[in-house]
Every structure is written in structure tokens, then in C-alpha cells.
Amino acid sequence: MAQTYKVLGQIAPSATTATAIYTVPSATEAVVSSVTVCNRAATSGTFRLAVRPNGATLANQHYVVYDTSISPNDTVILTIGLTLDAADVLEAYASSADMTFHAYGSEVS
């Protein structure tokens, strides 16, 4: 099995819209080692992260973090170690359009 270390996804989602950062390709597994959340605004905000197994409809049990506060012009780094299977989706939500999300890790195929 080949393991590839990579940037899994980068997004700057619209405000209050759940958006996929990364979807695991078919015949692949992934480990998300870290996620960064950057607030580019001069005001504080909140963010959410969720894992939707097999692309399931977003539900309460999928949240990894929920309405976590982030200060103005700040970055939060989560060393998280999420293990994902094919078709699983890592999703982000931000209270404003001034946030950026990055996911780093490895794919195993």
C-alpha cells in the first residue's frame, strides 16, 4: 500500500455554509494529521468541523468541533489524527466569509 503525504484540502468557504474541505477518494483511506483555521477578519468568529462517514447527510453526531471561538486575525492549529475511509467527508463551517481552512495528512491506497 502506498502512502502519500499531502495537503488534503484548502478552502475559504462562504459564511454560514457547510463546505467540504476534503473527500476521501475511492479505494483510499486517509489520516488527517492537522487542520488549520485562519481568521482573516478584524473581528472574532466561530467555526465548526465535522466528519460525514460515506458522505452522509450532516447530523449532530458528525461534529468534531462546534462553534469554537477564534480571535481576530488569528490562527488555530488542531493536531487531530482523524482516520477516514473512502467517501468520508471532512467539512467546515465558518461564521464569516473571512476564514480559511487547511487540512494536512496522508492518503493510503
pLDDT tens string, the chain, 109 residues long: the values are 899 999 999 999 999 999 999 999 999 999 999 999 999 999 999 999 999 999 999 999 999 999 999 999 999 999 999 999 999 999 999 999 999 999 999 999 9
Q: What single DSSP character describes residue 105?
A: E
Q: How far does Cα 73 stand from its chain's mean position?
A: 19
pLDDT for 68 equals 98
| Ramachandran category for residue 73: left, alpha or beta (phi over 0 → left; psi -120 to 50 → alpha) | left
d(CA 8, CA 36): 12
- In angstroms, the CA 33 to CA 1 distance is 19
Give the H/E segment covering residue 25: none
- Predicted TM-score (pTM) of the model is 0.95
The pLDDT value recorded for residue 1 is 81
